[in-house]
């Protein structure tokens, strides 16, 4: 979702270095406008003052401008300590003294899609039509395919995980039901955290051709497999946005979150969200709740999206 911002900055002549955590750095290798990637040696959580100061020291004197995309205080510390003179970002977590150019965070009720929110940091105003575009080398795709003994377009990919929580995950039994309707192999991709979830899907669809790759591929390999897939089915997740950026046909099932805020911005993406379905009764007045777990305990927003409906949305011959 940050790619359109980087595209704008690159188009006006800025040379781009992206500082990113290792688990997301491969995404930036799919952005040709990025000249350099600095992998940040930070663990999840905590300020880690010493590590941040060390990185800042290495970067000092190299940059004119820093665009700070996360809203956290700690994300603004390295640009400050690296003495980068112009530091652009949104207000948040007492960052007034850390940023030199501050944009006001929109209220939750008026927040634009994340792509537009990021792109606004460029200072441009014509940002409504931005769509992320990722480029994954054909050689990298072929390498990923060869490792699995597959051919391009000869399989589908399911990404059943969602780091945020179960209120964003289409049920395992529905993924299994959809797999049973398909006549091509299906790769289950995700991190090691989704391995048990993917094993459950395999167990629920004994007759389907499912290959559980959760936790068994690097992110680079997963991107290569998604790039060469016939189609992708996912929740609202990071891999959903990867598929959209690569322009792969996809169906994205939304539950507690909103496609008005984090949609898959691709002409080949189809979104299923019962909140938008006027025929769905009773109306889904509780969505989007943005909760990790369903506060009402029923998760209707996901349970009531049937495998048959997703299969129809795939429009496979």
Q: What is the token pair recorded at 117?
A: 């929110």
pLDDT of residue 105: 87
pLDDT at 161 over 80: yes
SS3 track for the chain: CCHHHHHHHHHCCCCEEEEECCCCHHHHCCCCCEEEEEECCCCCCCCCHHHHHHHHHHHCCCCCEEEECCCCCHHHHHHHHCCCCEEEEECCCCCCCCCCEEECCCCHHHCCCHHHHHHHHHCCCCCCCCCCCCCCCHHHHHHHHHHHCCCCCCCEEEECCCCCCHHHCCCHHHHHHHHHCCCCCEEECCCHHHHHHHHHHHHHCCCCCEEECCCCCCHHHHHHHHHCCCEEEEECCHHHHHHHHHCCCEEEECCCCCCCCCCCCCCCEEEECHHHCCCCCCCCCCCCCCCCCCCCCCCHHHHCCCHHHHHHHHCCC
Q: Among the listed ranges 162-166, 291-295, 302-306, which one has the minimum average pLDDT value?
A: 162-166
pLDDT of residue 316: 79
Confidence class for position 238, pLDDT limits 50, 70, 90: very high
Confidence class for position 136, pLDDT limits 50, 70, 90: very high
Q: What is the pLDDT of residues 273-287, one digit of tens each?
A: 999 999 999 999 999
This prediction has a pTM of 0.91
pLDDT of residue 36: 97
pLDDT at 247 over 90: yes
pLDDT of residue 107: 79
Confidence class for position 128, pLDDT limits 50, 70, 90: low
**Which has the closest alpha carbon to 299: 233, 253, 239, 261?**
253
Q: What is the mean pLDDT of residues 156-180?
A: 95
pLDDT at 186 over 80: yes
Higher pLDDT, 177 or 163: 177
| Mean of the per-residue pLDDT values of the chain | 94
In the chain the domains, ranked by start, together with CATH numbers, are 3-122 (3.40.50.2000), 141-314 (3.40.50.2000)
Q: What is the pLDDT of residues 93-125, one digit of tens each?
A: 788 899 999 999 887 777 788 899 999 999 987
pLDDT of residue 182: 96
Q: Among the listed ranges 82-86, 105-109, 230-234, which one has the minimum average pLDDT value?
A: 105-109
pLDDT of residue 163: 85
Do 23 and 219 meet the contact criterion of CB atoms below 8 Å apart? yes
């Amino acid at each position: 979702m940050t790619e359109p911002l980087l595209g704008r900055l690159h188009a006006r002549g800025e040379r781009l270095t992206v500082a990113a955590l290792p688990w997301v750095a491969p995404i930036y290798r799919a952005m040709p406008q990025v000249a350099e990637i600095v992998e940040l040696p930070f663990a999840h959580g905590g300020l880690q003052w010493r590590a941040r100061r060390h990185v800042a020291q290495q970067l000092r004197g190299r940059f004119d401008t820093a665009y700070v995309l996360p809203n956290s205080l700690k994300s603004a510390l390295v640009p400050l300590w690296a003495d980068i003179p112009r530091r652009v970002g949104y207000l948040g977590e007492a960052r007034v003294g850390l940023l030199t150019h501050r944009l006001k965070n929109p209220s939750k009720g008026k927040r634009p899609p994340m792509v537009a929110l990021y792109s606004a940091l460029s200072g441009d105003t014509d940002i409504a039509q931005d769509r992320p575009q990722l480029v994954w080398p054909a050689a990298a795709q072929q390498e990923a395919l060869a490792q699995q003994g597959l051919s391009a377009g000869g399989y589908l990919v399911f990404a059943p995980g969602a780091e945020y929580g179960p209120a964003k995950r289409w049920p395992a039994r529905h993924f299994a039901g959809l797999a049973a309707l398909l006549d091509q192999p299906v790769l289950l991709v995700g991190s090691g955290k989704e391995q048990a979830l993917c094993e459950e899907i395999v167990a629920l669809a004994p007759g389907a051709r499912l290959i559980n790759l959760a936790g068994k591929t690097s992110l680079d390999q997963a991107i290569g497999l998604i790039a060469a897939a016939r189609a992708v089915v996912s929740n609202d997740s990071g891999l959903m946005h990867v598929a959209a950026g690569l322009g792969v046909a996809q169906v994205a099932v939304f539950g507690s979150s909103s496609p008005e805020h984090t949609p898959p911005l691709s002409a080949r993406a189809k979104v299923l969200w019962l909140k938008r379905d006027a025929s769905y009764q009773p109306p889904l007045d509780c969505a989007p709740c943005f909760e990790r777990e369903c506060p009402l305990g029923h998760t209707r927003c996901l349970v009531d999206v049937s495998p048959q409906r997703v299969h129809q949305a795939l429009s496979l011959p």
